[in-house]
């Protein structure tokens, strides 16, 4: 039973709330971001950008993702839980561009704007997609590969998946560029390692065994690229050009050491920031472009310390 002092305090608090005299955190608009995962430094950098925007725009942002990029069902559970909280808007990086559509339709019906980031979905539901132009970025990786292997020879790809927009576009961007511009390059294998370093290592070992004369391998995300590096080290292979994607300490160190020729970097902090910025705009009914390009660049040991490159690399 409440004593008189407690009761009076409760009544006073209620009066202040009713008059707007107290501003609670939950008065902020809530924007959850459901990511592909947390296992790579890339996603931690995206979160840093989202947190920066949250502070700047005065909104509440949460950021979560499954333990691995193979856990589509777990990501769907996280998306459902986030939507159940009736957020003002939601950011979503799809592991499977098809699987999420029923839940995203629920968001649309509930009037919750969806901002896709990193990976789009095969739907017009998102108000916009904040992403790297992965087709163009992977085409640049193919150009660099061709240059480094002398325009001909066998190459392979280790890709994180064939269900997300990023996996599909990075694969196709590289493959299509080779087909259109480099007739003397043969793509001997494309394997999928779920962005997992260990799985990507084993896949790469099998590629190296089957193709002892291979000249180059493209690792299409952070985990894939690290797996390629590990396999080459563990098998004692020499003379294979490795091109990666994303940043992180392992890839940066490998590039400085000459073990990786170079990589494509995205702008993950910018991606997180632009996702929250777009979500805030969507809650106000503002018109957004179909896509927001968060940018990319090639880096190698010749430019890794250049200010414009260092600004978009992450540890």
- Quick one: pLDDT band at residue 3, thresholds 50, 70, 90? very low
Answer whether 0.95 is exceeded by the pTM.
no
Q: Six-digit token pair at 269?
A: 């902090």
Q: Give pLDDT tens digits for 189-237.
A: 999 999 999 999 999 999 999 999 999 999 999 999 999 999 999 999 9
Which domains, and CATH codes, for the chain? 27-132+268-295 (3.40.50.2300), 134-266 (3.40.50.2300)
Averaged pLDDT score across all residues of the chain: 91
Lowest mean pLDDT among 66-70, 132-136, 152-156, 159-163: 66-70
The radius of gyration of the chain's CA atoms, rounded to the nearest angstrom, is 23
39 compared with 87, residue with greater pLDDT: 87
pLDDT value for 97: 84
pLDDT value for 92: 98
CB-based contact 208:155 (threshold 8 Å): no
- Quick one: pLDDT band at residue 71, thresholds 50, 70, 90? very high
- Quick one: pLDDT band at residue 37, thresholds 50, 70, 90? confident
The sheet carrying 153-159 orders its strands as 185-192, 153-159, 216-219, 241-245, 262-266, 296-299
Dist CA 202 CA 304 (whole Å): 29
pLDDT value for 5: 40
pLDDT value for 188: 98
Hey, CA dihedral for 250, 231, 185, 293, is it positive or negative?
negative
**Percent with pLDDT over 90 in the chain:** 82
Q: Give pLDDT tens digits for 174-191.
A: 999 999 999 999 999 999
Q: Give pLDDT tens digits for 109-137.
A: 999 999 999 988 889 999 999 999 999 99
- Quick one: pLDDT band at residue 315, thresholds 50, 70, 90? confident
> Of 59, 48, 20, which is closest to residue 283 (Cα–Cα)?
59
């Amino acid at each position: 039973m409440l004593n008189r002092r407690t009761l009076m305090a409760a009544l006073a608090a209620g009066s202040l709330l009713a008059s707007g005299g107290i501003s609670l955190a939950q008065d902020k608009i809530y924007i959850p971001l459901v990511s592909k995962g947390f296992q790579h430094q890339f996603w931690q950098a995206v979160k840093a950008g989202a947190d920066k925007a949250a502070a700047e725009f005065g909104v509440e942002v949460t950021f979560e993702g499954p333990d691995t990029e193979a856990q589509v069902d777990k990501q769907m559970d996280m998306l459902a839980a986030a939507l159940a909280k009736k957020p003002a808007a939601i950011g979503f990086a799809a592991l499977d561009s098809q699987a999420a559509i029923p839940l995203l339709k629920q968001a649309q019906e509930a009037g919750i704007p969806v901002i896709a980031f990193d990976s789009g979905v095969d739907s017009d539901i998102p108000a916009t997609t904040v992403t790297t132009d992965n087709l163009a970025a992977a085409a640049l990786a193919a150009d660099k590969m061709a240059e480094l292997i002398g325009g001909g020879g066998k190459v392979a790809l280790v890709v994180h998946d064939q269900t997300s927009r990023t996996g599909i576009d990075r694969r196709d961007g590289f493959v299509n560029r080779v087909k259109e511009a480099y007739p003397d390059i043969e793509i001997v294998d494309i394997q999928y390692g779920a962005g997992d370093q260990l799985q990507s290592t084993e896949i790469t070992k099998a590629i190296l065994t089957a193709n002892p004369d291979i000249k180059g391998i493209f690792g299409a995300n952070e985990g894939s690229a690290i797996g390629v590096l590990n396999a080459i080290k563990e098998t004692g292979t020499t003379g294979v050009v490795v091109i990666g994607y994303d940043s992180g300490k392992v890839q940066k160190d490998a590039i400085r050491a000459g073990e990786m020729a170079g990589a494509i970097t995205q702008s993950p902090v910018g991606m997180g920031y632009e996702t929250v910025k777009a979500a805030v705009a969507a809650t106000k009914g503002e018109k957004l472009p179909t896509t927001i390009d968060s940018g990319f660049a090639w880096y190698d040991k010749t430019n890794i310390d250049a200010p414009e490159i260092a600004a978009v690399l992450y540890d």
